[in-house]
Structure 1
Amino acid sequence: MSARRPDALGGRAAVVGIGATAFTKDSGRSELALAAEAVRAALADAGLGPGDVDGMVTFSMDTSPEITLARAVGIGELSFFSRVHYGGGAACATVQQAALAVASGVAEVVVCYRAFNERSGRRFGAGVQHRQPSAEGVALGWVLPFGLLTPASWVAMTARRYLHTYGLTPEVFGHVAVAGRRHAARNPAAHFHGRPITLADHAASRWIAEPLRLLDCCQETDGGQALVVTSLERARTLPHPPAVITAAAQGAARGQEQMTGFYGDEPAGLPEAGVVARQLWAGSGLRPADVDAAILYDHFTPYVLLQLEEFGFCGPGEGGAFVAADALPLNTHGGQLGEAYLHGMNGIAEAVRLLRGTSVNQVPGARHVLVTAGTGVPTSGLILGADG
């Protein structure tokens, strides 16, 4: 791919508002109601009102249409609306889309949102229930006959290859689970608040799809999360210090599949994360050593290790030792393993809190935070920075 100019987007927009519902296992509410609550909370946090919003971005999977949510919240005319595909891989891309709209002048205030009843409604962890007569459905035909029916089973294939390639054991994944739950234990918003775990707990948890244990798998959550993006100039007039969008990227690898990419040159890696990493480092002018904290998409523990390696924080096969050494603050909200599974949107909110200095697991002096989106699928990433 061509080299990316450092000034392509960075510094022209910022996240100025964050808002969420409670994270539960049975909301008893519609996904629209959850989305509306999260959007209202994010606008209030930004010091803005529904009438200020002229753009909206969400996931292609989201069930709350932009115009329906706009009516529910009281948002008026829209000049920009967009949706991003590939599930959790869309998380950071929603902010990228918002930043592009603001930087190009097609919108002034853009709301990014995601809301679902993933525990009490459609359970993604249940895997494939019906094969659709579509190109996407046909692609799954290469793995379904072999019993690879769920996300856990797809990731287990890559995880097994990773362990084999580097001579490791499944216990190496436990460091990610323990770190996430340690942070979640101090986070009142987290489902696992007050409930840390040990490596022994991880090793004792039941197998889901070897080499993945229960504590290697993220939660299922009902809830909503929203973010507000506007220009940096306007952001400086609002109540909170802006989280500057220093760099943003999307990435799909050559021959990309959806969590079933077992046939590439390196089946023990995440090439789509590498595509995003190269863009973020080039676009920001930063390097791994400049990052003060990382919010890495943790739907399954092995993919946190692979992301650390793809982004250059450590060498291939060294991710487990890197996490065990506590070399970089990771998922300070508890992640999707410990706080909630909101397709990564709650991780972006945590990055904003770190830059504001309001995280419950605050990293002193944090100025650059890396955020990643779903892996094993076309994905996205952000570097958010402090202003000035």
Structure 2
Amino acid sequence: MSTRFALRDRTAIVGLGATPYVKRGHSAPQTLEELVGKAIIAAANDAGVAVPDIDGFAYFAGGFDTGYLMETLGIRDCGFTASLTGSGGGSAGAVGLASAAILSGHAETVVVVGAVQQGTLRYGAIPTSYAASPESSFYQSAGLVGPGHMFALLARRHMHLHGTTRDHFADVAITVRDNAVGHPTALMQKPLTRDEYFAAPMISDPHCLYDFCLETDGAVAVIVTSTERARDLKQRPVLVHASAHGGAGEWARSIYWMDMPDETFASSGHAAIARRLFAAADVDVGGIDTAQIYDHFTSQVLMQLEDYGFCGKGEGGLFVASGAVARNGRLPINTDGGQLSGGYIWGMSHVREAVEQLRGTAHHQVAGARTALVTGGPSNVPVSGLILRSDR
């Protein structure tokens, strides 16, 4: 078997657990480790496996302590523990990391976990916490104090090159808000009108308040094992069909250095990941039934749709304006409200929603959904993508 196809459908997500999503700071007095532990226990119970039988950990962010989790949860032995770098950019790829551990024989039952607790440190201002260096001085001195300011430059360039407008960003914000309204896990339950969008305060031109993701506390965990074993467990398996992480050298540090070529600058940096992901899959973009697109900013949703080939370069705005990404469109996205209106768990909420869609248990169920794309957050390399498939 070619190494390109070695992953295809040989592992599966069998357990899913999460804590409630709450607004930033409202998870106290729980600790981050407590949130993570609760999500892991819930995922194990969902899978029908004993918590002490977990023998692998795959992370992408959060700085979790495997030894602490083993002691706290009574886990007997660990054969694998590793983390992708890239913060939210690795959220989709961490599932592939777990699959690689299983296929290489290092572990049998791997938990992938992501969690957020923005108490003293707000992710929206995280660059201000970085130590002074020639690199950090470059963007801090320019007033780029948060990712929203940095990505605003990419958004403005996309508008200049391709005629994208704030109306297109509003289309994304309103679409995912429609998905959040009535969803049992979503934080934002009030419909968003176009007038309300344009009346919102400008945070970082062209990004207004509703172009930014939420500030949320919570944890999500999934358990991955071999497909053969998965079929004997409690839940219908969701197969890990393809996974890719990394990125092109021209994207590299991206928003932390801004030296990308012009065409790449006005992008999400996912084009290289998309090529590798679909090369490893037996479906193309036309075979994706739903996509859970990392939506820390509305503008980056448009650019990811382009990079993954759902529309042409520069056509992301027209694509969303056409209604294609609505629940009744040809590519329903972020069907739980996404990170803009549902809850921001650094990308793991998208994995959760994809699993529920393919189990057929989603609140806003996409009829007949058998394949789902999940993307990790555009940021510096690595970024990642994941294709999941139902086992039916």
TM-score range, shorter chain: over 0.9
Which deviations, in whole Å up to 9, do the C-alpha atoms of 1:358-382 show, x marking residues without a partner? 1111001111100000103221110
Residue pair 1:354, 1:362 contacting (<8 A) in 2 also: yes
Q: 2:339 & 2:278 partners in 1: Cα distance? A: 25
Residues 143-222 of structure 1 mapped to structure 2, 5 A cutoff? 143-192=139-188, 194-222=189-217
Q: 2:362 maps to which residue?
A: 359
How many correspondences in the alignment? Answer: 379
Letter in 1 for 2:120: G
Q: 1:312 maps to which residue?
A: 309
CA gap 1:343/1:40 in 2 versus in 1, 3 angstroms: same
Residue pair 1:159, 1:211 contacting (<8 A) in 2 also: yes
Which deviations, in whole Å up to 9, do the C-alpha atoms of 1:42-68 show, x marking residues without a partner? 111111111221101113x41430110
Letter in 1 for 2:125: A
Residue pair 2:187, 2:341 contacting (<8 A) in 1 also: yes
Residue pair 1:293, 1:366 contacting (<8 A) in 2 also: yes
Letter in 2 for 1:159: A
Quote the sequence identity (%): 39
Q: State the Cα RMSD in Å.
A: 1.5
How much does 1:267 deviate? Answer: 4.5
**1:143 partner SS:** helix
Q: 1:309 & 1:18 partners in 2: Cα distance? A: 30
**1:342 partner SS:** coil
1:383 to 366, 384, 387: 387
Residue pair 2:269, 2:307 contacting (<8 A) in 1 also: no
Q: 1:13 maps to which residue?
A: 11
Q: 2:254 & 2:67 partners in 1: Cα distance? A: 29
CA gap 1:317/1:44 in 2 versus in 1, 3 angstroms: same
Q: 1:54 maps to which residue?
A: 55
How much does 1:230 deviate? Answer: 0.3
Q: 1:123 maps to which residue?
A: 122
How much does 1:139 deviate? Answer: 2.4
Residue pair 1:158, 1:262 contacting (<8 A) in 2 also: no
How much does 1:257 deviate? Answer: 1.0
How much does 1:8 deviate? Answer: 2.4
Q: Does 1:330 align with 2:333?
A: yes
* TM-score (norm. length: structure 1): 0.94
**1:141 partner SS:** helix
Q: 2:238 maps to which residue?
A: 243
Residues 71-150 of structure 1 mapped to structure 2, 5 A cutoff? 71-118=71-118, 120-132=119-131, 137-150=133-146
Residue pair 1:170, 1:211 contacting (<8 A) in 2 also: yes
Q: 2:304 & 2:313 partners in 1: Cα distance? A: 10
Q: 2:223 maps to which residue?
A: 228
Q: 1:223 & 1:207 partners in 2: Cα distance? A: 27
Letter in 1 for 2:299: P
Residue pair 2:21, 2:187 contacting (<8 A) in 1 also: yes
Could you tell me which runs of 5 or more consecutive residues in structure 1 were left unpaired when the two chains were aligned: none
How much does 1:188 deviate? Answer: 1.0
Q: 1:130 & 1:343 partners in 2: Cα distance? A: 19
Q: 2:214 & 2:139 partners in 1: Cα distance? A: 24
Q: 1:294 & 1:309 partners in 2: Cα distance? A: 13
Residue pair 2:128, 2:146 contacting (<8 A) in 1 also: no
How much does 1:140 deviate? Answer: 2.4
* TM-score (norm. length: structure 2): 0.93
Letter in 1 for 2:121: R
Q: 1:85 & 1:257 partners in 2: Cα distance? A: 12
